Structure 1
């Protein structure tokens, strides 16, 4: 029976170059994995192309470079037996076909040369084991030993071999299964899903950096909750983000209940995914309520409370980022700020005063729109009247922000009177009096007692200096 042929997938001239180079070296060569999968899914042209050679992938890469007019540099990774080069907007990675064997305590396999079948056997999922021949006499022929095309049609994530072995050998594949299910809106086959649950503990041998890379991709998906719900179902979540899992459950005392903050959080993440591609803002949505588990209390008069959960949550962000080896830079500080301020616009919505809006703009700075986007995503009520009312309230806040900002210009606030001018005016060296005067000016502007104007600020400076017993120079 003849194999299906997909020459149209290989229209990029670089495939002809690889074909000629492979035939010149008498190697069988194939494009395999994500490129083939995405072509069949009509997901657009992939920029990363994996080439498998039955023989030396490094020698094939060198031959391809030699045959390209601009002779791109070949990056060689001898330890892994791979090579890579960039040409015409794509990156090609070459590897020799191989078979792998694993030890219990590492995801790094012992590698031997192998056949194409060996190489397809070691692939994580059937949909990633699809290969197209690049040799001239079989150019474009599809090799699909595990019915990966059928799994694409059926929207199924399935391992080529025994899933327990696949996931135990390289536990990162469990995260990849969940990530692909989330990105593609596919279902993980039951046997495979059960195997993830059985092997969940094995995720501990995977580095945090690798796990976070998959978390980023899950969060960047159209419906991120799919991935987090699957991590929860398969018991991976306790090993990765116990802070998130701690939000699950509804307690009841004296007839009073609170909402399940875990599932609420996943709704918020899905909501924000509809309005922003900013993965760090999506992280903020994921973590905005993590302070609620440690701050949950029951008060007979008011019921369930979560006092200062935003403050506690912002501190937890740092610890979580540090534990997962995520960047402790401005990205982390952004997420912290969003979590810390996540309730401010909600409180403000009930009484939209100029001074409260000025303070919100001052504290949120350049991130005030992100903060409003987060707060709007936080509306998960199923009551249509409440939903409409809350959104209308936030629209009033947004309108007020525009009005106040145009008039008072307090975003990224710089005081109209500098510390240097205060020192010069009163012949001062660095001292607490300078801070007192600067704070007085800032507070007066935020309260609306004076305009964000140099002359008014200077007049207040002189008045405050006099109150402090300072002499004008």
Structure 2
């Protein structure tokens, strides 16, 4: 099979071919770019393997591309990188690897193309395309990767136990590719993941979370999570999620399986957003239900305050999983804390006061919160889902109308602590805090508008009740 016609769309590859001929070395495109070329998926990363020095080849290619092209050289790894437009081209010499049992870092030595393909993780990533003049564009596929692409199979090129023992992160990568491509994992390969799952402990949490995030961003992320669960990996890397699994029944009353409910919410929200952190909010929205589960003979199963306790769990989970501790974490924490509020509003008669409070607390994240809440409707009763979604339409319209009128997203009371101190001749004190809260509540309740003169007059009257006088 030859891909010469497709390679014409990438002029840099002709330059690589010319440079490799000048150096007298063979060069091949290998890995993900070949896979995506066959699948007709866009790809901006091109890996070039040289049967010789990858750095020397990169330097000559850069020279032929022109004086403005920069080569990034990583001598420790024997690799070099060139960026051209939106393409990132990485060069490496063909190599053979061997691993010690307690490390993912291999001992590396020069090798042949076959050695290089043997060390690849999966057959679909071990295919190469020749850039030599004599057979430019020819596919080199020793492990029948193209057959596995057609069958939609993830399979290791060598015995899977060896592949996963050498680099346990490949277990996560197998599930990630299956989830991204909607492929099956070949049975022997999946059995090896199950038997080797404990080897994941030698992999850094940063690398694990990077693969997990890619699973979360796949089109139907629940598929990847189910594979992680059945392989036993989820129990090791995300035990809090396993706690959600199962249904308990007392006096004939059972609750929903919160593990599978969470996966449904994740899939639902993924239909409407590629935002990784909104998807994380879907994963964590009920994370505290196991800790708050109680049975009451009258009320049945309850999960009181699970949203607040769940919000407090977010930074702990993010810290353990080496996820960011910045505004992204705070966004997830906020949505977990607020995820029940719009649902409650959709069930009750909506007051402007309750709507104002929701707008103030959600701020700029109100649309994301509403997406999460819509995704949280997972009843098997289609009439119930339809009714809830209709009520949500009403809530969203009222929120929109109220926001247009009161501009509450960046809400700050017009009367500040400094104005209170100056008006009543106070020092920073408890009284100032009490007055600020009184004014804030009056604005949110609609007693006064968030305008200076009405708020000032209200402050003066409330001050009299507190025994304060205008200075």
TM-score by length of 2: 0.98
For residue 364 of structure 1, the aligned residue among 362, 365, 368 is 362
Deviation, structure 1 residue 283: 0.3
Deviation, structure 1 residue 71: 4.4
Deviation, structure 1 residue 362: 0.9
CA distance in 1, matches of 2:24, 2:465: 91
Deviation, structure 1 residue 88: 3.0
Which residue pairs with 1:63 in the alignment?
60
For residue 18 of structure 2, the aligned residue among 17, 20, 23 is 20
Which residue pairs with 1:436 in the alignment?
434
Deviation, structure 1 residue 10: 1.4
CA distance in 2, matches of 1:179, 1:89: 24
For residue 94 of structure 1, the aligned residue among 87, 91, 102 is 91
* SS state at 1:93 partner: strand
Which residue pairs with 1:452 in the alignment?
450
Which residue pairs with 1:258 in the alignment?
255
Residues 72-126 of structure 1 show CA distances to partners (whole Å, capped at 9, x for unaligned) of 2211111111111112321111111011111111111111110000000100010
189-198 vs 463-472, which deviates more? 463-472
Which residue pairs with 1:78 in the alignment?
75
Which residue pairs with 2:38 in the alignment?
40
CA distance in 2, matches of 1:212, 1:9: 35
433-442 vs 161-170, which deviates more? 433-442
Q: Please tell me whether residue 180 in structure 1 is matched to residue 148 in structure 2.
A: no
CA distance in 1, matches of 2:242, 2:6: 43
Assess if the C-alpha contact under 8 Å between 1:409 and 1:452 holds in 2: no
* SS state at 2:347 partner: coil
Assess if the C-alpha contact under 8 Å between 1:251 and 1:258 holds in 2: yes
CA distance in 1, matches of 2:162, 2:329: 37
CA distance in 1, matches of 2:426, 2:416: 13
* SS state at 1:80 partner: coil
1:337-356 paired onto structure 2 within 5 Å? 337-351=334-348, 352-356=350-354
For residue 421 of structure 1, the aligned residue among 397, 419, 422 is 419
Q: Please tell me whether residue 195 in structure 1 is matched to residue 192 in structure 2.
A: yes
CA distance in 2, matches of 1:17, 1:372: 51
Which residue pairs with 2:403 in the alignment?
405
* SS state at 1:349 partner: helix
Q: Please tell me whether residue 467 in structure 1 is matched to residue 465 in structure 2.
A: yes
Deviation, structure 1 residue 464: 1.5
Assess if the C-alpha contact under 8 Å between 1:29 and 1:53 holds in 2: yes
Q: Please tell me whether residue 147 in structure 1 is matched to residue 144 in structure 2.
A: yes
Deviation, structure 1 residue 437: 1.4
1:131-280 paired onto structure 2 within 5 Å? 131-280=128-277
CA distance in 2, matches of 1:71, 1:245: 52
What CA RMSD, in Å, does the superposition of the two structures yield over aligned residues?
Answer: 1.0
Size of the aligned set, in residue pairs, is: 469
CA distance in 2, matches of 1:421, 1:452: 15
Which residue pairs with 1:103 in the alignment?
100
Which residue pairs with 1:50 in the alignment?
47
* Structure 2 stretches lacking a partner, 5+ long: none
CA distance in 1, matches of 2:368, 2:439: 28
CA distance in 2, matches of 1:230, 1:161: 21
CA distance in 2, matches of 1:71, 1:349: 59
Deviation, structure 1 residue 471: 2.1
For residue 288 of structure 1, the aligned residue among 268, 272, 285 is 285
CA distance in 2, matches of 1:71, 1:402: 51
* Structure 1 stretches lacking a partner, 5+ long: none
